[in-house]
Structure 1
Amino acid sequence: MTTYVAFLRAINLGPNRKFPKADIVAATEGAGFTGVATHINTGNVRLDTAMRSRARIEQALETAYADRAGFAVPTIVFSASELAAIADEAVRLSEERGPLERHYLYLMKSEPEADRVAALLERDRAVDEVVVSGRVTHLLFGAGYQPGAVDPYGVEKALGVVATNRNLNVVRTLAEKWC
């Protein structure tokens, strides 16, 4: 059995996309996964499975979640070891860049095409930086960042991928808790 962490996109936003933790657990277990746990109500799910194909795991979860929730729930899956490496890289990036106001990670279903990454990286500004690493995009907001839109770069649209975002604290906590 291998441990995976699934990140659910766009749940519990507004009145029409409610998907309570108890329903997420029931749907995940109903799809045949074990060791299921959740962390806060934003769609972070730990699970164990003998399945090795990330695409098959994502498909099984998306089918179970759509059946239970009544709407599509895009799901991005990483193995526990991948999540630990993502958290380590995120902490390193934050420490190297000095004090940051915010650090968001966009966890992507697939790796973006190189030309789309290049176009996104050209949009860096003086107070922030974008780092794309495999299936993760880091938005690093430095001193002078004015809170507003979480994603002023439009990462998902710019890279042409399905993604969901979490802040550094959530990713680090999940890695410490589940990896």
Structure 2
Amino acid sequence: MTMYAALLRGINVGGSKKVPMAELRTLLESLGYDSVATYLQSGNAVFGTDHGDEDSLAAELEQAIEKQFGFAVSVLVRDHAYLKAVREACPFPAAELEAKQLHVTYFSAPVDAERFATVDPAAFAPEEFRLGDREMYLYAPDGLGRSKLAVALSKPRLLKGVVATTRNWNTVVKLEELTGV
């Protein structure tokens, strides 16, 4: 059985798109998934299954969530091996930083540096970002809520054609741990 994390985008924020975690767990179990758990209220779930791949599982979850809750939610599904690789490849000294200073944005498809070429990194120092394949690492010393670089990187024109969802470093670590059982 492969363990996966489901990353739901934009739920339980500002009173809209409410998805109670207990109901999400029940939904995942009804789809036949094993070892179901949720983490926090911001749309993180883990589960195990022997069928499907990341994309087909994400599509299945999106359909089930829309049917159950009555609204569309983008879902990214990533397996344990990927989550572990993201954690290990962090280009910033994660052990030396507060979790609120380090974030990972997961993308639905690979992205390249050309997509973000219009963002001048020097204009946002000491904030920094580094791209992986389907992820971007963001160092924001004052936190994501105060990050001007995060705002610049999330412009719709830069994210056209991909779904993006961001998690702080504590969540990155916890999801990798929860899927590693």
Alignment root-mean-square deviation, CA: 2.4
Identity of aligned residues (%): 27
Provide TM-score, normalisation by structure 1: 0.85
Q: Look up the equivalent residue of 2:85 and give its one-letter code.
A: A
Q: Distance in 2 between matches of 1:71 and 1:53?
A: 24
Q: Distance in 2 between matches of 1:145 and 1:56?
A: 34
Q: Look up the equivalent residue of 2:3 and give its one-letter code.
A: T
For residue 81 of structure 1, what is the aligned residue in structure 2? 81
1:148 aligns with 2:149: no
Which stretch shows the higher mean deviation, 147-156 or 11-20?
147-156
Q: Distance in 1 between matches of 2:57 and 2:144?
A: 38
Q: Deviations over 1:61-108 (max 9, x none)?
A: 101111112111100111011111112223x52359x65671111111
Q: CA deviation at 1:115?
A: 2.2
Aligned residues of 2:4 and 2:80 also touching (Cα < 8 A): yes
Matches within 5 A, 1:157-176: 157=156, 158-160=158-160, 161-176=162-177
- Alpha-carbon distance change, 26 to 147 in structure 1, aligned in 2, over 3 angstroms: closer
Q: In the comparison of the two structures, how many residue pairs are matched? A: 175
Aligned residues of 1:30 and 1:64 also touching (Cα < 8 A): no
Provide TM-score, normalisation by structure 2: 0.84
Q: CA deviation at 1:114?
A: 4.6
Matches within 5 A, 1:90-129: 90=90, 92-95=91-94, 99=97, 102-120=101-119, 122-124=120-122, 125-129=124-128
Q: Look up the equivalent residue of 1:126 and give its one-letter code.
A: A
Q: Distance in 1 between matches of 2:145 and 2:39?
A: 25
For residue 178 of structure 2, what is the aligned residue in structure 1? 177
Q: Which runs of 4+ in 1 moved over 4 A?
A: 98-101, 144-147
Question: 3-state SS of the aligned residue for 1:127?
Answer: coil
Q: Deviations over 1:104-160 (max 9, x none)?
A: 11111111255213334x345221111110111111124x77952582223362232
Q: Deviations over 1:16-59 (max 9, x none)?
A: 31100011112212223222111111111111112242211110
Gaps of 5+ in 1: none
